[in-house]
Structure 1
Amino acid sequence: MPNTTMIDSPSFYANPDRNVAVLNYNAHFITSIFDLVNSEELIAFVRLFLNQQRDKVPVDADPVTTFNLATPETYMDVVKAILTDQVTAYQPFKTAEILASVEDLYTYYRTYLRISLMTAHENNVVASEFMSIDQNFNDLVIRLYRAIEEKLKGHANHVYREVNAGTNGTLLLREVAWPLPTGYEALKDIHFISRMMLQPPMMLHTKSNKRKGLFTATQTNPLENFKGTERDWLCYPAKIGESLAYIYFHRDYLASGIALANLFQMADTEEISGQQPDLILLFGTPGVVSDDHPENGHYYYDQTNGFYVGQIPYNDQTTYFGYMKKMCLTLHNLHMIAEQKLPIHGSMVRITFANGQTKTVVFFGDSGAGKSESIEALQAVADDQIANIETIFDDMGSFTLEDDHLYAQGTETGAFVRLDDLSSEVAFNNMDRGIYMNPEQKNARVIIPANTWPRVVAHHEIDMWVYANNYDDAIGVHRFEDQATAKATFVAGKRCALGTTDEVGMSTTFFANPFGPVQEQAATQPIIDAVFDRLFADDVYVGEIFTHLGSDKSQANLNASAHKLLQELLKL
């Protein structure tokens, strides 16, 4: 009995529950319209479509003449008759009804995130032409749709729109041999993504758009509960800061998996062959029932092999991209703490003034404190005083003490930001590169590239470090005169939560960073002490900026604070 709720064949996978479709060109590549209309893949998708449509058909509809009540076989016979101009062959169905159904089928298919896969197998032709191969399939789909549409209407279209009819993107996969430790053999055959082509702007929809809770340690290696195979799992090799991460994810999380390309630098095949990672993430695998909050993610430190293993369970809640991003950053930050580096939850920008001077500013605070908003306000009030603002990192970085100097490095090459936080200029200027998550909902997000990996991980000196204070009524900026008060403010991590996570109202988070420092407070505190000692010894500006986002959300007040910040920068 054919499955009417999803499709899972070697060449085609479609899951309506996750709105994900995967085409495996290795198993079957369609080369012509004739192949397409006679393919098992198309008739399987028509079956899925008709099953979705049956609930919309009136109960008194005639099963003989209602096209959406036809069998998939009859449906495709009608399509073939239309293509070959056999008008009498698709009676008794009405032409208008057939056209409406085909339009709905085409629209329904395009509601899916559709990704094609190819495996290089050291084949240089495939590696160099993988985008053209995918484009050929896109051309077939749109040609088939237009041919049916124009034959049913009886005339050519007046306007043609070149949309991504077949796929939203394509992945070139490779088999990568890396030294798998004992107990990790289940990962051996899972392919790595080596190249990716996306067709932005991409509008993706997930069942969740908010992150809940914290990630906690587990005493059981998640690999013990891993059941994935090369058919339903992929690996994105990422450079998170200078950490090498192998991010394994279930194909139902392709929305998050492909969005990684706009956030973290993809590691080259040469960089990962024979290389053990610093971090491993298994995204979409069952958790351990004995763990606290098994619905949330966990991490495990493999002491024998010297790396961290993260695990995020398969459920509706974790479809939100924040789970993918924040677990990656948690694992990286834990690695940084082990390396005696201090993870920083914040944004860093390098400002070039019109007079040629440059200053590097780090904005610090938990989600919703006003880090990104402060940068936007600074740009708004600067007029011609600022020539350029370069984003070094948008959400997470680290401070490194080396040879009596303090440096900052970033983690992400992109930014995952709320659409409400972006000016219309920034939002529209980046539309052709953006991956949008639930753009019509509250907490809508976009992932956009921001900077290059070499620039992000370079050692940057710090001129100013300010805490984003969104709860006090003051306006402007305040420089801390003594180290103890400054450190107490940063360590307390106080904010008025805005609902971007499951928190609302006043809250405190150790060092404003629930992604590593909270989990390892004892190990983090001595690094915090050493960093503040160096900051005050070097007379670096350490202060706070009052953003007002937790109270009146006044743009005028935020702009006034940004203007004061600008004045302080010009004095340094």
Structure 2
Amino acid sequence: MSTKVFFHGKQVIIRTTSLDWGDVDKIMDSELFGKIVGSLMHKLREKNSDFLKILPKVPEKKQEELILLVLKRLAKDDRETVMKTNPELKPFFEDTYLLDRFVEELYNYWRGHERYLICVSDPKSKNGVEIDKKPYRTFNDTIEKLNHTVRKIYRDIQENITGEHPMIFRQVPAGCTVGAIAKEMQVKLPKEYGQLKRIPVIRQVLLNPPILIDPTINKRKGQFALVGSNPLEGIGFDNDEWLCFPAKVGSLVIYLYFNNFYTGLAISTSNLFELCTEEDLKKQPDGIYAFGVSHETLQKFAPEKTVFYSDEKNGMMVGAVPADREYGFFGYVKKMMLTLHNAIMIRRGRMPVHGAMVRITMKTGEKSNVVLVGDSGAGKSESIEAFRVLSGDNLRELKVVFDDMGCLELTKEGKIKAYGTETGAFVRIDDLESGYVYGQMDRMIIMIPHKEPNARVLVPITTLKEVLHGWPVDYFLYANNYAKPEGGIYIERFKNPEDAMAVFKEGKRLAKGTTHEIGLTTSYYANIFGPSQMMKEHELIADRFFRAMFREGIFVGQVKTQLGLAGMEQEGPQQAARALFREITEKKQGKGKQN
């Protein structure tokens, strides 16, 4: 492979072994340039656009040949020179303003695609040795040069048409917004998974945020089914169409194998999970997830299409989801990886927690570790962000341990410790303070900003050290988004493990459209990502952990976030945050009570 280009909807994926992307002729003579121009011309003809007026009166095939020629010539020479040396191109210059606007249209059309440059090592060349050892040089030679060269082509063509220099220069990533370095590696996989061994493994990722991604759908449906046979058995994988993102999911190593069809969603994982280190890759992964297999290979599990399997022989969890517009949402990446994580944790005797955890330190020195439990839309992240904003100068620091999924460990000494999974967050834009959104814009991956009601952002929020430390728990609260507070009490403490487990086990929430559910729903321990599929094992674990929490004096209760109630999307989490603030400060002062 030298360079191959794949188109999937609005995605353009360039997979290359070439490190030379600074040559104007190479880019303008490329298959990619021809396809983009041809695609735009097709759309303009469908709309009978005014831009068609610049074209000579010749057959369509000849028109496209001439439009490519005039663009290539204008990248080097001014219009007078072009008309003199290529008289057949004179019709393009009868309306130079319209020609100039056509170039702008082409530039914007290209930039309207989601553009990914995957630099793959060639083990037969020098490239294969150095490509990931000097990532800055590799990115500079590829994506940075490509961005510069595309801007140069665009500006030179417009200057040669108009005879004028631009007065405002916008240094946008005009080539690609995302780059990745991948190479073939001798990863440690059981022989049953030999078909995966030659798939290139991503070692570094370059992001030019803010990055906008437009998935094919805006919410996830249902849950993943635990099946009795390996979904990857007998599947072949084309190395040119697949990549591996080796992720650190908490303490686990999970290999995310993804088809080109899902490139944007899969590489967005860079803002959610850390990439594995070289040391991590020396051992067998704890889980494997193939995102984008063919429908036919999963037909044996019909009607289930999103499945996972416990490979007892090899000590791994394995997941698979087909390549289809129906699954083109980031939730299918994130939640399957977390399902595999949770299933492994249950097998190890830990309790998965669908929720968020923060370590709070007030200015006066009070410290509290708070876990909020609840399903999507329960108000976990929103209440934490409201606490951050409302505490103002009273807050020394607020550190996130996990934003969506974690797990609890019961030590030999009977102590509870909490661990996270993700270093990033995948949250709804509408449920965040606008100041926070704008303040973090330069690190965000923004998904479906125009599709309501579930526009989301992916943003890094914590470190792997925070995630893996193992923190004690002071508050373990169920995020109740459906009930109004009575008597001004926003936080209620349960009296015994049985009362607590009844509420947590029911997992009630008012679904607000962030998944396929609408209205008042229930889910086993608010966690359909492992516990509900392994209910028998989880039931014993939950009983043991809740009794341990009460024995240790942990505050186990519920907080009324009201996020599911109409008109309370902002005020509800703010009221919950104020109550939590009072609870933490008054408890440390010996005045603790229900708030």
Shorter-chain TM band: over 0.9
Secondary structure of residue in 1 paired with 2:189? coil
Match of 1:56 among 44, 47, 50: 47
Unaligned 5+ segments in structure 2 are 589-595
Secondary structure of residue in 1 paired with 2:255? strand
Secondary structure of residue in 2 paired with 1:550? coil
One-letter code aligned to 1:195:
Q
State the match for 1:466 in structure 2.
477
Answer whether contact 2:15 2:120 (CA < 8 A) is retained: no
Q: Equivalents in 1 of 2:209, 2:20: separation in Å?
A: 24
One-letter code aligned to 1:456:
V
- Cα deviation code 1:383-430 (max 9, x no counterpart): 433222111110000000112111000000000000112112211121
State the match for 1:5 in structure 2.
none
State the match for 1:551 in structure 2.
565
Match of 1:168 among 165, 174, 177: 177
Q: Equivalents in 2 of 1:292, 1:43: separation in Å?
A: 41
CA positional deviation for 1:59: 11
Secondary structure of residue in 1 paired with 2:244? strand
Q: Equivalents in 2 of 1:280, 1:200: separation in Å?
A: 28
Aligned: 1:387 with 2:386: no
Q: Equivalents in 2 of 1:561, 1:41: separation in Å?
A: 53
One-letter code aligned to 2:108:
T
Aligned: 1:218 with 2:227: yes
CA positional deviation for 1:37: 2.3
State the match for 2:217 in structure 1.
208
Aligned: 1:32 with 2:23: yes
Q: Equivalents in 1 of 2:468, 2:132: separation in Å?
A: 32
Q: Equivalents in 1 of 2:411, 2:58: separation in Å?
A: 74
State the match for 1:521 in structure 2.
535
One-letter code aligned to 2:154:
Y
- Cα deviation code 1:178-219 (max 9, x no counterpart): 233233121121000001111011011111110011100223
State the match for 2:144 in structure 1.
135
126 and 533 in structure 1: CA distance in 2 versus 1, 3 angstrom threshold: closer
Q: Equivalents in 1 of 2:549, 2:132: separation in Å?
A: 53
State the match for 1:91 in structure 2.
90
60 and 347 in structure 1: CA distance in 2 versus 1, 3 angstrom threshold: closer
Q: Which range is displaced more, 73-82 or 521-530? A: 73-82
Secondary structure of residue in 1 paired with 2:515? coil
State the match for 2:593 in structure 1.
none
* 1:35-434 paired onto structure 2 within 5 Å: 35-57=26-48, 64-65=56-57, 71-82=63-74, 83-85=76-78, 86-88=81-83, 89=86, 90-93=89-92, 94=94, 95-120=96-121, 121=123, 122-124=128-130, 127-128=133-134, 129-133=137-141, 134-224=143-233, 226-273=235-282, 275-287=283-295, 288-294=298-304, 296-403=305-412, 404-434=414-444
Aligned: 1:562 with 2:570: no
Q: Equivalents in 2 of 1:285, 1:54: separation in Å?
A: 35
Q: Equivalents in 2 of 1:127, 1:107: separation in Å?
A: 35
Secondary structure of residue in 1 paired with 2:263? helix
CA positional deviation for 1:126: 6.2
- Cα deviation code 1:56-85 (max 9, x no counterpart): 226997773499885332111111332323
One-letter code aligned to 2:447:
M
Secondary structure of residue in 1 paired with 2:233? helix
The size of the alignment, in residue pairs, is 561
Unaligned 5+ segments in structure 1 are 1-8
Secondary structure of residue in 1 paired with 2:237? coil
CA positional deviation for 1:382: 2.4
State the match for 1:530 in structure 2.
544
Q: Equivalents in 1 of 2:322, 2:571: separation in Å?
A: 43
One-letter code aligned to 2:24:
I
Secondary structure of residue in 2 paired with 1:147? helix
Answer whether contact 1:346 1:365 (CA < 8 A) is retained: yes
Q: Equivalents in 2 of 1:215, 1:390: separation in Å?
A: 31
TM-score by length of 1: 0.94
- Cα deviation code 1:222-254 (max 9, x no counterpart): 222533211010000001001110100011211
TM-score by length of 2: 0.90
Q: Equivalents in 1 of 2:376, 2:313: separation in Å?
A: 35
Secondary structure of residue in 1 paired with 2:223? coil
530 and 75 in structure 1: CA distance in 2 versus 1, 3 angstrom threshold: same
Cα RMSD (Å): 2.1
Q: Equivalents in 1 of 2:117, 2:521: separation in Å?
A: 44
Q: Equivalents in 1 of 2:62, 2:105: separation in Å?
A: 15
* Percent identity of paired positions between Structure 1 and Structure 2: 35
Q: Equivalents in 2 of 1:14, 1:71: separation in Å?
A: 25
Answer whether contact 1:350 1:392 (CA < 8 A) is retained: yes
Answer whether contact 1:117 1:173 (CA < 8 A) is retained: yes
371 and 60 in structure 1: CA distance in 2 versus 1, 3 angstrom threshold: closer
Answer whether contact 2:132 2:204 (CA < 8 A) is retained: no
One-letter code aligned to 1:517:
P
